[in-house]
Structure 1
């Protein structure tokens, strides 16, 4: 195969404001927070349910936290996990870990014990910062992992009065939980740590091109959960590319809605890191809620709203949307799932802002392509490669670069591409060859340089912006005593994009109901991975060698929906 592109037609589509190549300072992520604190100490960095914190306040707390982590024995390269919803604590923890020389391991608070244990064992994390609501899960798996310290925080800790007094009662009413934390030598209060006499932070020399900032877990291009190794330079480069792509956005003047979770690399880069590097104000929501989102946009005058299609669908279909002033919206960055044209058009009409679709993957920090905000946007296209991002469509027939409109595998190279998979040299070698990242996505480029995806990674399901890997669901189903065969597929869903359906063949003489399987899966899987439908069959369609024809089941469902 060729290792250099014969042409880059997408560069001809760039407006004059976007250069083909950018300069990426050799800076750590946390150095940008320090610069903001020194140059504009009183500028508000974040707003959280009525609470505001300036650049200086966030920096000082992150520095205090870094000192405490180093006193706990965190050294350069040690992994520290964050298991938090979007809160000020997640921002303080993230930059504090980096200041201490640690590597952030973002952990989904929805994980069940099995998933959490796998990630902690695989990463070798020494410390975890978690919400009180997930503390019981952390406590249950701690002894099976390398975790030495657990730091517990509460959402109320960063709420203004009187919300901080009322919130525990609301939390108990909504969750039915009142968590009791067993504080000891290995279990600490986040707020109490920050109240301690500041510990001096020992400066850590960081090689931004080689030293990791983040281990981000993903199913990757082959479906098995693994840690993507991203350096400071990877993340700084991708954030810089985002800033330059949205060239009308003004440094220091934007307000960005952070409803996408920071534990997802998309929300982390296009929300949190973007705000710090571009001196924007983050309006943080602990989870996406349509009413809270509408209120936040109106009251905080949000200008940038990164999201997933389900979020925009929720906004445009809210019965009270007409009561809110959404005219402050200028740019919306849609990712994680295909954006329906109707949703794009309705949202733009409603707000007067621009909603464009992009494409990326965790292995690329994550963004590689994006449609122009203020320019040509072909229907169905994922857009153009970002500056310094080379993309090749690899022909399956010739093993070389495919001509325009020929479908092949999408290959990517650029400063945002990962260093590899954590402790998985063989899988790294398979995914990264001759300087290219093999994405496993099938697509094509038109003659103008716009790219289109025609098929995703073989089996992955994207539901409501979450990546779901059927193999994990199937393995859980296979562990049930009544299940002989099982396959999970993604089927079209008007709200989530796709939803999970499981096809099940039972063992002879065994019985189980849909409700019983649902209860079983809920005990083993995060809520977004649980099949929404089950269908019992006598047999599954297979190839001559016995491989289940997943696509055949999906086509059956599509035909059924059309005729139904």
Structure 2
């Protein structure tokens, strides 16, 4: 809806107070109509209209905790904590434009730092608490921060991981900031009023291609996609959110913002593992579960009892697109309303997103009776002005032609911190290149086939890992997760062959040889390139994930790139096809080699 039409609609609507009743449509329309509403002002606009400041809103569950360990926060609590942190930062010399790194495992603390630093015009740079200290140290130093706040234990490991702690500015423990109390003055002009293009967050990417990148998100830009969601997010009287995103991640901060604006009680978890989430669902009884695909994959493989998900109406996922096998399992659970009556089955909102665009740019909504799979990521979000596909020379492609997906959207990052060259190379003709390979069909639906860096170049041409993973997961329902990646071909070391690293459920006793035969049978039936090897893993950390929940395929490739060149399994459970044992250095046909490189 346009702002002017909203204002006309509201002309006949009396000003409503927010609080327990602010889930109503009229109150949310009033918020959306505020022209100055953005990341830097959302808290103040909410407080200005709140009727019940003391109603519990955000509920924090620490890692390893249970129902009795929850700490609840009202709007008044968030306001007071934001002001207290702002006073501390101001006294520490933090001013407009300064960057401050946050390296904390406390989800609510991340959110309060985010609001407090913005309230004085500074720029928060939260770091996922799972990021290795050495990586975190290098990443933070690139930002040239005014200071770094970290939990006591993380601060110790962070300082031990660097030779020059001076590059962090001041360093202080989260515990010291919390114990400081309400001291010192607030800066003149508090809270800071942001301009449209003022930076409000330096996020970090997952690091799937190396050192995490540092995209800058702006006051208006980062909020552009959230404004319409104030009206569309489930926010009925009985709704309750379970937020499983890392709270330091842009998506975690986004949904805590949405909870603040819509007033929906939201439980913020520190743990993202499927079994822990299933246990919390037993007693929290959420209607909306918000998580990365890896968490939903674990829930699906776990076989969640219907009673645990009895009140779920919506599973909401973002980052990489989800796998069909996992989605189908989850939409059978929960409930949806038809004609005023509850029916079995829920919806799964699957969003393909990237940190650089601050939100999902494609959305596919699944239900018990929908069938838009085969790596379909759906239509562009309404906020996206245009989406297209380019070839490697920058030429636009037509329907069903595979190339580089690009979007034109007001949610696009302001650029990478202190890296104009990377910013420039990520754009083409006004479009942001998402890094995904795919195509769109005649109906305008988009399909994601791979990340550009993950395409497997074989003697027969390119093999796309994501569609292959879909077939693997459908053929083996005992698989919790699967990564299809490139290994060096024994026939020509300039080329590759696809292998699969599969994590099976604990109760599954399939051998790698049995699984390889099963999977290649399914791939042959589908007319797809067969696997040259299967590597079985059992542990939850055996498939490396980035700190934003994305699989680090570069690490999988590095670990297993020579698996076809030797029969030495190094104690791993590996099965190879007979053809994969071809003598090394046997040349592939020259024509095929040229075709593969061109692809």
Q: Same fold (TM over 0.5)?
A: yes
Kept in 1: contact 2:40–2:200 (CA 8 A): no
1:229, 1:542 → 2: CA distance? 47
- Is 2:186 the partner of 1:200? yes
Q: 1:397 to 1:96 in 2, by over 3 A?
A: closer
2:101, 2:498 → 1: CA distance? 31
CA distances 1:472-503 after superposition (whole Å, capped 9, x unpaired): xxxxxxxxxxxxx9x9998453579xxxxxxx
Q: Tell me the residue number matched to 1:15.
A: none
Kept in 1: contact 2:289–2:312 (CA 8 A): yes
Q: Tell me the residue number matched to 1:25.
A: 35
CA distances 1:326-348 after superposition (whole Å, capped 9, x unpaired): 22212112233342222212111
Q: 1:292 to 1:376 in 2, by over 3 A?
A: closer
Q: Tell me the residue number matched to 1:45.
A: 57
CA distances 1:284-340 after superposition (whole Å, capped 9, x unpaired): 111124344234323233122122232123223436x42843222121122333422
1:542, 1:329 → 2: CA distance? 55
Q: 1:355 aligns with which of 348, 351, 354?
A: 348
2:191, 2:173 → 1: CA distance? 26
1:340, 1:458 → 2: CA distance? 20
Q: 1:411 to 1:490 in 2, by over 3 A?
A: farther
Q: Tell me the residue number matched to 1:69.
A: 89
What is the TM-score with the length of structure 1 in the denominator? 0.69
Aligned pair count reads 452
1:367, 1:429 → 2: CA distance? 22
SS in 1 for 2:224: helix
Kept in 2: contact 1:364–1:417 (CA 8 A): yes
Q: 2:268 aligns with which of 281, 284, 302?
A: 284
Q: Tell me the residue number matched to 1:256.
A: 241
Say what the alpha-carbon RMSD is for the aligned residues. Answer: 4.2
Kept in 2: contact 1:221–1:431 (CA 8 A): no
Alignment of 1:400-411 (within 5 A): 400-411=395-406
1:541, 1:422 → 2: CA distance? 46
Kept in 1: contact 2:353–2:359 (CA 8 A): yes
1:541, 1:337 → 2: CA distance? 37
Q: 1:327 aligns with which of 301, 310, 328?
A: 310
Q: Tell me the residue number matched to 2:133.
A: 113
Any unmatched runs of 5+ in structure 1? 1-21, 155-188, 471-484, 497-520, 553-564
Q: 1:191 aligns with which of 149, 168, 178?
A: 178
Kept in 2: contact 1:80–1:126 (CA 8 A): yes
Q: Tell me the residue number matched to 1:427.
A: 422
Higher relative contact order structure (alpha carbons within 8 Å, sequence separation ≥ 6): 1
Kept in 2: contact 1:354–1:373 (CA 8 A): yes
Q: 2:256 aligns with which of 272, 288, 291?
A: 272
Q: C-alpha displacement at 1:46, in angstroms?
A: 0.9
Kept in 2: contact 1:86–1:285 (CA 8 A): no
Kept in 1: contact 2:364–2:377 (CA 8 A): yes
SS in 1 for 2:287: coil
Q: Tell me the residue number matched to 1:493.
A: 502
Q: C-alpha displacement at 1:148, in angstroms?
A: 2.8
Q: 1:405 to 1:495 in 2, by over 3 A?
A: farther
Greater Cα shift, 273-282 or 420-429: 273-282
CA distances 1:483-526 after superposition (whole Å, capped 9, x unpaired): xx9x9998453579xxxxxxxxxxxxxxxxxxxxxxxx99xx98
1:417, 1:432 → 2: CA distance? 10
CA distances 1:73-124 after superposition (whole Å, capped 9, x unpaired): 1111111111122532222222112112111112122233321221111111
Q: 1:295 to 1:220 in 2, by over 3 A?
A: closer
Q: 2:372 aligns with which of 378, 386, 401?
A: 378
Kept in 1: contact 2:218–2:414 (CA 8 A): yes
2:296, 2:88 → 1: CA distance? 40
Q: C-alpha displacement at 1:199, in angstroms?
A: 3.1
Q: 1:251 to 1:24 in 2, by over 3 A?
A: farther
- Is 2:216 the partner of 1:229? yes
Greater Cα shift, 228-237 or 288-297: 288-297
Q: 1:145 to 1:439 in 2, by over 3 A?
A: farther
1:43, 1:60 → 2: CA distance? 14
Kept in 2: contact 1:301–1:328 (CA 8 A): yes
1:541, 1:91 → 2: CA distance? 57
Kept in 2: contact 1:298–1:325 (CA 8 A): yes
Q: Tell me the residue number matched to 2:443.
A: 448
Q: 1:30 to 1:276 in 2, by over 3 A?
A: farther
Kept in 1: contact 2:389–2:439 (CA 8 A): no
The structure with the larger Rg is: 2
Any unmatched runs of 5+ in structure 2? 1-31, 62-69, 336-345, 456-464, 470-478, 486-493, 506-541, 567-583
SS in 1 for 2:58: strand
Q: C-alpha displacement at 1:258, in angstroms?
A: 1.7
Q: 1:410 to 1:99 in 2, by over 3 A?
A: same
Kept in 2: contact 1:104–1:213 (CA 8 A): yes
Alignment of 1:169-184 (within 5 A): none
Q: Tell me the residue number matched to 1:81.
A: 101
SS in 2 for 1:230: strand
1:542, 1:228 → 2: CA distance? 43
